[in-house]
Structure 1
Amino acid sequence: MTVDWSAFTPAASLAGGLLIGLAAAIFVIFNGRIAGISGIIGGLIKPRLGDLNWRIAFIAGLIIAPILYAFFFPLPQVQVEAETSTLIIAGLLVGVGTRFGSGCTSGHGVCGISRLSTRSVVATLTFMLAGFITVFLVRHL
């Protein structure tokens, strides 16, 4: 295994983590809701009364933010080393996993662990373990 030291960016990674944590904290303080992406998108399927606008605004912010960022800084190059069929299967498996796990990595990993939720700690450890096993199987076997 080799490490691409040019891609090692601890300061930028720390800043990104702090911004995600701050955004999640602000979101829960002002809305009383967890910033779990799968739950936010899932709520668009059958929205409750008064629930649609904030969900659309949240998703719009996720789309607009990198576009605004691109005006000031170059976007990183995206390199996907998988076939389209593999990506589709992986996406479906992640979707099924978020339903079984009652949330996604953002809901459990960022918001749940910060609330000291045992369920979120277990879910996040399960996500991570599944990811480690998948990478090992795909790359080494």
Structure 2
Amino acid sequence: MAAFNWPTALMGGIFIGISATVLLLGSGRIAGISGMVNGAMTFARQEMWRWSFIAGLLLGALVYEYGLATAPTPHSTFSPISMIVGGLLVGWGTRMGNGCTSGHGVCGLGRLSMRSLVAVLVFLGTGMLTVFVMRHGVVS
């Protein structure tokens, strides 16, 4: 397993923040991925910019995986059915929470949104509780 490379992680975080800021200042739009995908599903002509954003995410992942990656990308051992069910649950949760971690954590906190602060605290608390339960064998 490759060692954590904090300068690369820091640069990635800076680029994400800059990108979200440029989108917000340039168009008044928020770079939350679940909202982006949801808006793209309308296929309205004025929403086609969302498809460009999503294509950029996918293209960036492909460029990284097949061009820039210096270490192998981890692959999941979960079954495809588990991943599909998990993805549907995440999608349902983002609709229930009116946004995803990127929307609330990166964009909402940057705008000092109280709703986003509550959402991020719930995300983090749920994640910590899940790790505790899984690591300490409360559920087997």
What is the TM-score normalised by the length of structure 1? 0.84
Output one character per residue of 1:11-66: Cα deviation in whole Å (capped at 9) or x when no partner: 111111001001101111111100000001001222445112x0110011001113
Residue 118 of structure 1: CA displacement?
0.7
**Equivalents in 2 of 1:80, 1:128: separation in Å?**
22
**CA distance 1:120–1:15, change in 2 (3 Å):** same
**CA distance 1:81–1:132, change in 2 (3 Å):** farther
2:60 is aligned with 1:68 = no
1:27 corresponds to: 23
Name the SS of the counterpart of 2:46 in structure 1.
coil
**CA distance 1:44–1:63, change in 2 (3 Å):** same
Structure 1 residues 70-109: aligned runs within 5 Å? 70-74=66-70, 76-109=72-105
- Aligned residue among 22, 35, 40 for 1:44: 40
**Number of paired residues?**
136
Identity of aligned residues (%): 45
**CA distance 1:82–1:68, change in 2 (3 Å):** closer
2:13 is aligned with 1:17 = yes
**Equivalents in 1 of 2:27, 2:40: separation in Å?**
16
**CA distance 1:35–1:101, change in 2 (3 Å):** same
**CA distance 1:87–1:134, change in 2 (3 Å):** farther
**CA distance 1:132–1:121, change in 2 (3 Å):** same
Counterpart amino acid of 2:19? A
- Aligned residue among 34, 50, 73 for 1:55: 50
1:127 corresponds to: 123
Counterpart amino acid of 2:83? L
**Equivalents in 1 of 2:31, 2:122: separation in Å?**
20
Unmatched 5+ residue regions in structure 1? none
Give the ranges of 4+ consecutive aligned residues of structure 1 lying more than 6 Å apart after TM superposition. none
Unmatched 5+ residue regions in structure 2? none
Residue 81 of structure 1: CA displacement?
4.0
**Equivalents in 2 of 1:108, 1:114: separation in Å?**
9
**Equivalents in 2 of 1:81, 1:133: separation in Å?**
23
